[in-house]
């Protein structure tokens, strides 16, 4: 047991005894003051050398050398850990490529000429030509690498010995977002400029119209219509901005959709749908409320049912139904019997300012933002939007919204029953 104890623990008592004996001898030979000074100096020197109790002894020199010589991650491990395509070039040849680069350019690029690996006119000079001596590497934009629509940013980093590290960053998504922003600004400016120009033109005309009451009344009516169009556009833009600002905050209020449908039907009766009987509502039994924002859901219903009234067959029915589907969702379906929408337009219907028939949409007072607002409201409510259409028969808009949490059973929730000591959960779903 003693042999397992740290050597410094045993050395300190022995050192104390030795110092006491030495102090006695020195006192006899040198006198008390000189002997005391000599012993204090010896104690200080020994204490500096000795480790503190409980501390670990210094590692052997061989252990320190082995830790320093332990191999770190190799270059292959490093580049494989990078998700972007990465290539290592030496003397114009690709010596290494990570999995992302091989997936993009092919496995055959390793060992081949880099100019054959990245066949792009803008890349050749940067890959084999001289690089700037100072400053960060300048990016090179590559379009069509791998796929025609893909956009990449290539950076070439100089390494020791003339080698080069090539990194490709996918910028397709960022470019699409920037393009959408530019298109949105351009479209919004155009939509605002058109009614504004109309207003200015008729104001100038009114100044020269004299006192003709009929002409003045007609011009004022046109000006009022264009001003209302601008107002609707600004309101839709502000609404879209507010919805996007709240997109990460899921609404939690329990909202009864049947009551909202009745309110929207009454509001449409004064404008788009004077004949309220056109809107036929079918409700499933025991519908739960949905988790939502009442104002936004009302706007959603107004836009979807309003579109069916605008573009459906004149006087034709508009079918609105609510039921429950699997997953605790409430399904809203709005059908019209209109001309239908060609299939090539369906993927773009929710884009801002996209119109299948721009002239007809403007004539009916549309801003081109209605379905975009619907899409963003559905996304904020963690739902799903589907649009299907058959040319010559009509269009169907289907929206799934999550039901509000409810402790009691319903057609959209789990029915919990107890039989003695055993509890069972039985799913109830209406399709």
Same domain for 295 and 354? yes
Q: Are strands 318-325 and 279-283 parallel, antiparallel or unpaired?
A: parallel
At residue 257, the 3 state secondary structure works out as helix
CATH code where residue 100 lies: 3.30.450.20
- Domain assignment present for residue 408? The answer is no
CATH code where residue 205 lies: 1.10.287.130
Residue 56 has a pLDDT of 54
Contacts by 425-431, CB closer than 8 A, 24 or more apart: 429/324, 429/325, 429/326, 430/284, 430/285, 430/323, 430/324, 430/325, 431/323, 431/325, 431/326
CATH code where residue 357 lies: 3.30.565.10
* Lowest model confidence (mean pLDDT) among 17-26, 54-63, 111-120, 181-190: 17-26
Query: At residue 152, does pLDDT exceed 50?
Result: yes
Q: Are strands 290-291 and 151-158 parallel, antiparallel or unpaired?
A: unpaired
- Domain assignment present for residue 176? The answer is no
Same domain for 240 and 253? no
> 319 or 237, which is more confident?
319
Express each pLDDT in 91-106 by its tens digit.
889 999 999 999 999 9
Residue 111 has a pLDDT of 92
Q: Which of 214, 244, 274 is the last residue of a domain?
A: 244
Same domain for 397 and 293? yes
Taking all residues of the chain, what is their mean pLDDT, rounded to a whole number? Answer: 77
Same domain for 317 and 385? yes
Contact 143, 158 (CB under 8 A): no
Alpha-helical regions (H) of 52-171 = 61-68, 75-80, 99-105, 114-117, 121-128
For residue 308, give the nearest of 294, 297, 295, 321 by alpha carbon.
321
Same domain for 211 and 278? no
- Domain assignment present for residue 423? The answer is no
Q: Which of 43, 68, 93 is the last residue of a domain?
A: 68
How large a percentage of the chain has pLDDT more than 70?
A: 72
Q: Which of 244, 274, 297 is the last residue of a domain?
A: 244
Same domain for 220 and 294? no
Q: Quick one: average pLDDT of 189-214? A: 77
Confidence bin at 272 (pLDDT 50/70/90): low
For residue 285, give the nearest of 424, 428, 396 by alpha carbon.
428
Confidence bin at 71 (pLDDT 50/70/90): low
- Domain assignment present for residue 12? The answer is yes
Same domain for 374 and 272? yes
DSSP 403: B
Residue linked to tokens 């039901």 = 403
Same domain for 186 and 323? no
> 364 or 342, which is more confident?
342
> What is the residue range of 36's domain?
2-68
Number of domains the chain contains: 4
Q: At what angle do helices 257-269 and 294-311 cross, to 10 degrees?
A: 50
Same domain for 54 and 14? yes
Same domain for 220 and 87? no
Contact 389, 340 (CB under 8 A): yes
Q: Which helix (H) or strand (E) segment is 87 a member of?
A: strand 86-90
> 46 or 245, which is more confident?
245
Query: At residue 15, does pLDDT exceed 70?
Result: no
Same domain for 144 and 230? no
pTM for this prediction: 0.56
Which residues lie across from 281 on neighbouring strands? 320
Instruction: State in Å, rounded, how far the first CA of the chain is from the last one.
Output: 78
Q: Quick one: average pLDDT of 281-308? A: 92
What six digits make up the tokens of 33? 């003051």
Confidence bin at 4 (pLDDT 50/70/90): very low
Same domain for 143 and 214? no
* Lowest model confidence (mean pLDDT) among 10-14, 75-79, 413-417: 413-417
């Amino acid at each position: 047991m003693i042999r397992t104890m740290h050597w410094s623990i045993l050395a300190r008592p022995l050192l104390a005894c030795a110092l006491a004996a030495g102090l006695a001898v020195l006192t006899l030979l040198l006198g008390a003051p000189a002997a005391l000074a000599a012993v204090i100096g010896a104690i200080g020197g020994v204490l500096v050398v000795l480790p503190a109790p409980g501390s670990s002894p210094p590692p052997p020199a061989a252990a320190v050398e082995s830790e320093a010589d332990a191999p770190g991650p190799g270059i292959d491990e490093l580049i494989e850990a990078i998700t972007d395509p990465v290539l290592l070039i030496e003397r114009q040849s690709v010596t290494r490529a990570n999995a992302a680069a091989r997936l993009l350019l092919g496995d055959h690029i390793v060992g081949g000429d880099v100019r054959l690996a990245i066949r792009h006119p803008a890349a050749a000079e940067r890959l084999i030509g001289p690089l700037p001596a100072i400053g960060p590497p300048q990016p090179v934009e590559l379009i069509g690498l791998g796929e025609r629509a893909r956009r990449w940013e290539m950076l070439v980093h100089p390494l020791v010995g003339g080698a080069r590290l090539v990194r490709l960053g996918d910028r397709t998504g960022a470019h699409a977002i920037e393009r959408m922003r530019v298109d949105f600004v351009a479209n919004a400016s155009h939509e605002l400029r058109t009614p504004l120009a109309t207003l200015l033109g008729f104001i100038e005309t009114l100044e020269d119209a004299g006192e003709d009451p009929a002409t003045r009344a007609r011009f004022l009516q046109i000006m009022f219509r264009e001003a209302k169009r601008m107002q609707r556009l600004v309101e839709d833009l502000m609404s879209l901005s507010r919805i996007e600002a709240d997109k990460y905050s899921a609404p939690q209020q329990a909202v009864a959709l049947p009551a909202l449908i009745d309110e929207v039907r009454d509001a449409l009766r004064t404008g788009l749908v004077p004949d309220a009987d056109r809107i036929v509502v079918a409700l499933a039994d025991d519908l739960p409320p949905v988790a939502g924002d009442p104002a936004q859901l009302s706007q959603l219903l107004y836009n979807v049912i309003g579109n069916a009234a605008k573009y459906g067959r004149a006087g034709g029915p508009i079918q609105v139904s609510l039921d429950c589907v699997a997953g605790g969702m409430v399904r809203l379906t709005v059908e019209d019997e209109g001309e239908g929408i060609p299939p090539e337009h369906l993927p773009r219907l929710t884009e801002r300012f996209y119109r299948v028939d721009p002239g007809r949409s403007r004539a009916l007072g549309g801003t081109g933002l209605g379905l975009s607002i619907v899409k963003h409201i559905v996304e904020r409510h963690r739902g799903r939007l589907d649009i299907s259409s058959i040319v010559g028969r009509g269009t169907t808009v289907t929206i799934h919204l999550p039901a509000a949490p409810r402790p009691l059973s319903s057609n959209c929730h789990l029915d919990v029953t107890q039989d003695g000591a055993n509890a069972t959960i039985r799913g109830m779903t209406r399709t």
